[in-house]
Structure 1
Amino acid sequence: MVDRGHAPAAGAEQRLQQLGITLPPPPTPFGAYVEAVKAGNLVFLSGMLPVVGHTPQFIGRVGGELTAEDGKRAAETACLSGLSAAKAYLGSLDRITGVAKLGVYIATEGDFRDHPKVADGASELLVKVFGEAMLSGRVVLGVASLPLGMPIEIELVLEVEA
């Protein structure tokens, strides 16, 4: 269990610069929904796919057309899209005081077993940007298919300053 004591994630924007990470353009919906909704001090992001803007970067199933390493890169790409959506919604990632939940859904072949390794692509990015104290609880699931044939969909619930 982690008690963050609601310490702000000051420096997330600066860490991105130091790491040489440029966020992609904020994703645009593929259907009738919005990318982010705030309830109290939580921001719920819609499912984030491995896209840049509106263009898929990975297609296929992990353990089939894609390797676990491909899946890990796709999870990182989906997480970058999530950070971009959060920044567009909040104005700055420095407003984030915690990552409450990370869900990683992986389209896999039936016998694939390296789900945690794939999900680490998103978790490791969040640690780089926000620090280890912000590491969240996480759910990782293998599924038969995901939107538009993409291999990864992540969900993020972020805690923000009041």
Structure 2
Amino acid sequence: MNTAGTPGESAPYQRLRELGIVLPTPPKPVANFVTSVREGGFLYLAGQGPLEPSGIEHSGKVGAGVSIEEAYGHARITGINMLAVIHEALGSLDKVRRIVKLLGMVNADPTFDSHPKVIDGCSDLFVAVFGEEIGRHARSAVGMGSLPGQITVEIEAVIAVRD
């Protein structure tokens, strides 16, 4: 789904193009849920993971076989998937008024303590795409004993939207 690079493109799509990012088809739910719910002025995103457009899903324990740098990249991939879900749900990234909150979960070794550095992969992407005012958000970054399919990261979000 390439929505960037069109005449009169808006800032988020221009930034995606500058970053060399093409929005993928949003990942489908893996169980009995939907990827997003719009309620009033908010869009709630279900947890997304590091699924590549090729179908590869990154797995493993961060701090035990998966480095911080690798997991940061996985969180960035997850953020790209989240942008695809936002685009599909709202019809345009221009309807994002503010990224309000992220919950970043890291499949981490029990001794790992750098969860925020991993989830920065998604946070940095959102700031790069939407700018500081819209993209900067509240956030939690926590370690988990496991995640579905042993994926390295899972991230969910609350987005304030405009009509």
Normalised by the length of structure 1, the TM-score is 0.90
1:113 maps to 113
Structure 2 matches for 1:76-95, cutoff 5 A? Answer: 76-95=76-95
Contact 1:25 1:52 in 2 (8 A): no
Which residue does the alignment assign to 1:5? Answer: none
How far does the alpha carbon of each residue in 1:90-110 deviate from its partner, in whole angstroms, 9 at most, with x for none? 111111010010110001001
1:128 aligns with 2:128: yes
Separation in 1 of the partners of 2:53 and 2:101?
A: 23
Give the RMSD, CA atoms, in angstroms.
1.3
> What runs of 5+ residues in structure 2 fail to find an aligned partner?
1-9
- 1:58 maps to 58
| Residue of structure 1 equivalent to 2:18 | 18
What does residue 155 of structure 1 align with? 156
Q: Counterpart of 2:34 in structure 1: which amino acid?
A: V
* Bigger mean CA deviation after superposition, 29-38 or 15-24: 15-24
Alpha-carbon shift at residue 66 of structure 1 (Å): 0.5
Q: How many residues align?
A: 153
Partner of 1:130, secondary structure, is helix
SS of the residue corresponding to residue 51 of structure 1 reads coil
**CA deviation profile, 1:63-118 (whole Å, cap 9, x unmatched):** 01201111101111111111101111111111101001011000100111111111
Separation in 1 of the partners of 2:115 and 2:130? 23
Distance 1:81 1:58, change over 3 A: same
In the TM superposition, what is the alpha-carbon distance from 1:138 to its structure 2 partner? 0.3
Q: Distance in 1 between matches of 2:28 and 2:96?
A: 21
CA distance in 1, matches of 2:127, 2:104: 16
Local SS of the residue matching 1:109:
coil
Q: Give the secondary structure class of the aligned counterpart of 1:125.
A: helix
More off after superposition, 18-27 vs 147-156: 18-27
SS in 2 for 1:47: strand
Q: Could you tell me the TM-score, scaled by structure 2's length? A: 0.89
Identity among equivalent positions (%) equals 35
